[in-house]
Amino acid sequence: MENYSLFFMVAVAIGGVAWVFVYPFLSGERKAERRKASVARAEPIARPTRGPQKPRREQIEGTLKELEERQKKAKRVPLAVRLTQAGLAWSKRRFIVTAAILGVAAFAAAFILLSGGLLPALGFGFAAGFGLPLWVLKFLKKRRESRFLEALPDAVDVIVRGIKSGLPLLDSLRLIATEAPEPVRSEFRAIIETQTIGIPLGEACVKLYERIPLAEANFFGIVISIQQRAGGNLSEALGNLSRVLRDRKKMKAKIKAMSMEAKASASIIGALPIVVMSLVYFTSPQYIELLWTEQLGRMMLVASATWMTIGILVMRKMINFDF
């Protein structure tokens, strides 16, 4: 059992490190993030200079060209910005200290309590102190983005109705900042506060993409920015945006429903070896103990775990639809 515990801790440590460093590349998440960054980068838009007025079409094309140029300068997101995107009011120092405490606690548990040895304890502590906090941060970020997408189309509809009834755009945004559910309420409140300190409303809306790195949030910022610069019927533009957001939401739900069968099959196939191994161990422990008592058996376990991990990642890549 001691060898079995040692192998389990080593496997968990290796799996945690692989999950943090290898999984984003194999699952396509890094590619998806690069695609999102290529949509637009939220940076202040240059103010129009005085001179002869250009046609509205040329002004819109110029604005989109400026945004496209800024898209190519995307940089790695700092930790402080990632904390904000996850909805945490933590400082960078507090996050690092918490991660260090988790790593030390995991190392002590593996080395002292379980007597797992120095090298496995180091791997276990590294996985718990570096991989686990980043995974939790990524999970909170995705959950916050999902809640934002759920409430954004309704918020845009409220703005459209307010503009059609005669309210200025800023007053309609204030209405969202007080009545909408979280996190839409806090994000629109940040837009109002940014505009209060002197930044133009279009640039304040474009900055929404920094806190919510989603294509939908970027669409909203671009529509407001173009209308502030080139003019036009804002209610019609936002109405079209609302329809686009709802169509994207329907498409995402349809893709999720169509891929549920494949996900269920992948889950069953991935869990089947572990379930069979557990049943054999409870019924005939001497028959399967050779896998972790003999050197050849341990090598077979490591090879099997590696191939199973690769198979699961490949299956997830096949059912991970992007649009």
pLDDT in tens, 149-190: 888 888 888 888 888 888 888 888 888 888 888 888 888 898
Q: 2-21 and 132-164 helices cross at what angle (nearest 10)?
A: 40
User: For every residue of 53-80, which 3-state class applies, written as one string?
Assistant: CCCHHHHHHHHHHHHHHHHCCCCCCCHH
Cα dihedral 3, 14, 26, 31, rounded to 10, equals: 160
Separation of alpha carbons 36 and 33, rounded Å = 5
238: which residues sit within 8 A by CB, 6+ positions away? Answer: 156, 159, 160, 163, 223
Residue 29: its pLDDT value, please? 60
> Contact 216/155 with Cβ under 8 angstroms?
no
Residue 44: its pLDDT value, please? 45
Residue 3: its pLDDT value, please? 54
Which residues of the chain fall short of a pLDDT of 70?
A: 1-76, 114-117, 321-323
Q: Where are the domains of the chain?
A: 2-46+56-319
Residue 207: its pLDDT value, please? 85
Separation of alpha carbons 84 and 92, rounded Å = 10
Alpha-carbon Rg for the chain in angstroms: 25
> Contact 110/129 with Cβ under 8 angstroms?
no
> Contact 187/212 with Cβ under 8 angstroms?
yes
CB atoms within 10 A of CB 112: 10
Separation of alpha carbons 249 and 244, rounded Å = 9
Expressed in percent and rounded to 5, the helix, strand and coil fractions of the chain are 80, 0, 20
CB atoms within 10 A of CB 199: 16
Separation of alpha carbons 95 and 156, rounded Å = 34
Residue 60: its pLDDT value, please? 54
Residue 70: its pLDDT value, please? 56
Of 255, 211, 213, 210, the C-alpha closest to 32 is: 213
Of 92, 93, 128, the C-alpha closest to 109 is: 128
- Conformational region of residue 115, where left means phi above 0, alpha means psi within -120 to 50, and beta covers everything else: left
Separation of alpha carbons 125 and 131, rounded Å = 10
Residue 287: its pLDDT value, please? 84
What CA–CA distances, in Å, run from 18 to 27, 116, 263, 309?
12, 20, 21, 10
> Contact 249/153 with Cβ under 8 angstroms?
yes
Separation of alpha carbons 160 and 167, rounded Å = 10
